[in-house]
Structure 1
């Protein structure tokens, strides 16, 4: 009997052309969303490519100038313009530390429009530790760009609800339900079969639209089949959850209007209200210290240390005898920089507690959101999509740490050479430190997010069974 019910439902859906309308509508929305994501990723990569090209041109120009100067083909420039001076290379020709886009970055903008994707650390100054625009509201990304994540999180549930809110009530209001229940099939099985068919239809439409959109915009999802399958699985589970919510509300036996209002209320709670509450509580319980105060304290410490540069440099030589000048009769051309290098350690020690407090507050705030994301399937899906796209807060925190680590590498490449009063050679440009971004060490939340969505499925199924056994549908036939 269930087989005949599903077949009859399929014929009904074909006759009212709802499936074709839904396919065209969702395909158009998905294509537009993927196009937006593609444009953002292209702009991001174009900016990174432009900066790397500028870096390469500058290296070639400086190497050519060094050859010309060494061969006396041009007069010596001012010291602050001399490409043979290591301080000029370390300050004026920094390396580009870039966060390349992941293969599925078009799926979710996440926090990519809030954080920088490249940095150019120099031999002096800690501006790279202060120049990342942290997000004081960790859930604000849920209200961001019109990308595929936005379509799946916000619009897809509305399509599900519009496709299923009156499956039972329409039969009841037309008087067909009594005839249906006269057949040898339970109402629970009958309703579940009808919604299961609609779930499969909508899932096929959604998956086909997503894969088609990725294909026409040149996203190599077939070369990243594992990530693509994770994307499809996550979205499919999310769709099934909303069908189960509709199944539960239909089991209450209310009118079509009541079902629509109830389902919209559930959508508002899970998609809008809970994320907003988590956001506000994160700001209230774990406020972030002022960046202005942090930067002010850093500059004060820097100014104080620079005044005592000579004294600090003597102490630095005692602590690092390997940097002490071997020939005290020869003036080091980098003497000003040496004092600042020594002072930077003092600055870091004095400012580090402020930086630690600031970073700790951000971590506590994000940990709060990570724990409470299991209260909403919308947050779980957003977190999972960000994880696949490489645009999660964890990815940008890791990139920030990579920038800081490379800044130390860049600085320590020059410090010993400047203490030894060396000069830059043309062939040294090929030996300068470089950075290659990797997200392999970033912990993934995907499995936890998937388990969270499956838990919501379990709750919805359990709730529907409880409603079915409790009501026994006394009110199904009420007028």
Structure 2
């Protein structure tokens, strides 16, 4: 215990250590503030749409009371992706995809991927959230604090003295690493405490699990550090090797895997879906109206009782055209959806052997900001859109007035995002990586 105390005093006396800890703490606090600003923007958007929707319907009814089909050409209905406060820690897909979708009953595929107007330069650089600080910057701090734990003793000539006086050379090295591990854990817990206060987080299982996974991830980097320093190389060599490992794990591997997944599962359907949807709708202007209405009735046979009006413009034919935009692009839609799911599954499988990628994917899923959860939201929005169609089509086709509809029932609806990952699934890959590093380090301890 005495030598452990001496190591702690030696470590905290170093200005480099204090500067490093202060810098990572400052960056962590900044990332939490950025995450909070992101959540505030989303919450403001939700508050605005709640206040706006009722006024929006009142205005449309006043303008188009006698033409419900025209009213519903303009009327928009809000469907909101429930905001998880943990998204302030791991922003994920939520910086690209909006939390609120306001849709009409027209062709859904043309509205499906609409996003907010955002500066593309901001999207390219991305947001600095706490998950970025933990996954990218904490390993750098581990390197800065630990690369010369053993080489410094050798280069200053004190290692021989240590080998004589210390009860265990291995215990000596582990004690020095443990001091640094404890210091980083203190900073990490402090940042999560600040995040809880700033983001108003609850101490639920997802929050605790995110903290626990972060601690295991930092421990993984210390086991990697221990393995490298047992080679007993110089401080310069250790620093270069550490940075090379960091570069490969954090930058090169994720970029390479992203390129591999993109090339293995290309998505030309993204363009072909758009073309098919537009052709499916726009070409119907020059197609026989009877043919369009017959196709519409194949999709909705319950509406056949409204007949086949083909003279002049009518809303039955117009919304039948809109429906064809979705129907004619259905095959491309399904292919695109399948490709995106395959990309997600392949990424998860590969990431299971790369701790930093695995941790990022788990953080996103715990925060409700993963790609799969975004796809779930889009599918739920599709179902919401279909309910609107089935409610309004009969009223439009019967040429009812807008004031026959109880518009107060159309308040913004919410989609509940669920985290579909178990604690065991999230922790096993990191535990395996830890055990692997420990096992390959055991033979190297003989060098000490």
TM-score, normalised with respect to structure 2: 0.89
Residues 367-389 of structure 1 deviation map (CA, whole Å, 9 limit, x = unaligned): 22121112321111211221222
Q: CA deviation at 1:56?
A: 2.1
Of stretches 366-375 and 47-56 in structure 1, the one that deviates more from structure 2 is 47-56
Distance 2:207 2:139 in 1: 21
Distance 1:130 1:344 in 2: 14
Q: CA deviation at 1:129?
A: 5.5
* 318 and 272 in structure 1: CA distance in 2 versus 1, 3 angstrom threshold: closer
Q: 1:175 aligns with which of 157, 175, 189?
A: 157
Instruction: Tell me the secondary structure at the aligned position of residue 252 of structure 1.
Output: coil
* In the alignment, structure 1 residue 359 sits paired with structure 2 residue 324: no
Q: CA deviation at 1:209?
A: 2.6
* In the alignment, structure 1 residue 381 sits paired with structure 2 residue 359: yes
1:87-102 mapped onto 2 (5 Å cutoff): 87-102=69-84
- Assess if the C-alpha contact under 8 Å between 2:280 and 2:321 holds in 1: no
Structure 2: gaps of 5 or more residues: 116-122
Aligned twin of 2:431: 454
Q: CA deviation at 1:460?
A: 1.2
Q: 2:46 aligns with which of 37, 45, 48?
A: 48
Structure 1: gaps of 5 or more residues: 66-80, 134-140
Instruction: Tell me the secondary structure at the aligned position of residue 105 of structure 1.
Output: helix
Q: CA deviation at 1:309?
A: 2.5
Distance 1:466 1:112 in 2: 45
Q: 1:396 aligns with which of 359, 374, 379?
A: 374
Aligned twin of 1:27: 25
* 8 and 348 in structure 1: CA distance in 2 versus 1, 3 angstrom threshold: same
Of stretches 146-155 and 82-91 in structure 1, the one that deviates more from structure 2 is 82-91
- Assess if the C-alpha contact under 8 Å between 1:161 and 1:263 holds in 2: yes
Instruction: Tell me the secondary structure at the aligned position of residue 260 of structure 1.
Output: helix
* 131 and 355 in structure 1: CA distance in 2 versus 1, 3 angstrom threshold: same
- Assess if the C-alpha contact under 8 Å between 1:122 and 1:411 holds in 2: no
Q: CA deviation at 1:202?
A: 1.3
Distance 1:436 1:32 in 2: 30
* 334 and 456 in structure 1: CA distance in 2 versus 1, 3 angstrom threshold: farther
Aligned twin of 2:272: 293
* In the alignment, structure 1 residue 313 sits paired with structure 2 residue 320: no
Aligned twin of 1:68: none
* 323 and 333 in structure 1: CA distance in 2 versus 1, 3 angstrom threshold: farther
Distance 2:156 2:271 in 1: 66
What is the total number of aligned residue pairs between the two structures? 440
- Assess if the C-alpha contact under 8 Å between 2:17 and 2:145 holds in 1: no
Aligned twin of 1:419: 397
Residues 389-441 of structure 1 deviation map (CA, whole Å, 9 limit, x = unaligned): 2211112111111111111011111012223332222761123375212013x
Aligned twin of 1:408: 386
Q: CA deviation at 1:208?
A: 0.8
Instruction: Tell me the secondary structure at the aligned position of residue 120 of structure 1.
Output: strand
Distance 2:32 2:257 in 1: 28
Distance 1:267 1:125 in 2: 47
Instruction: Tell me the secondary structure at the aligned position of residue 175 of structure 2.
Output: helix
Q: CA deviation at 1:246?
A: 0.9
Distance 1:321 1:235 in 2: 55
* In the alignment, structure 1 residue 119 sits paired with structure 2 residue 97: no
- Assess if the C-alpha contact under 8 Å between 1:334 and 1:419 holds in 2: no
Of stretches 91-100 and 20-29 in structure 1, the one that deviates more from structure 2 is 20-29
Distance 1:333 1:27 in 2: 71
- Assess if the C-alpha contact under 8 Å between 1:169 and 1:254 holds in 2: yes
Q: 1:14 aligns with which of 12, 15, 18?
A: 12
- Assess if the C-alpha contact under 8 Å between 2:109 and 2:326 holds in 1: no
Distance 2:22 2:312 in 1: 67
Q: CA deviation at 1:296?
A: 1.9
Q: CA deviation at 1:297?
A: 2.4
Q: Mark the structure with the bigger radius of gyration.
A: 1
Q: Please give the root-mean-square deviation of Cα atoms over the aligned residues, in Å.
A: 2.9
Q: CA deviation at 1:339?
A: 1.8
Instruction: Tell me the secondary structure at the aligned position of residue 98 of structure 1.
Output: strand
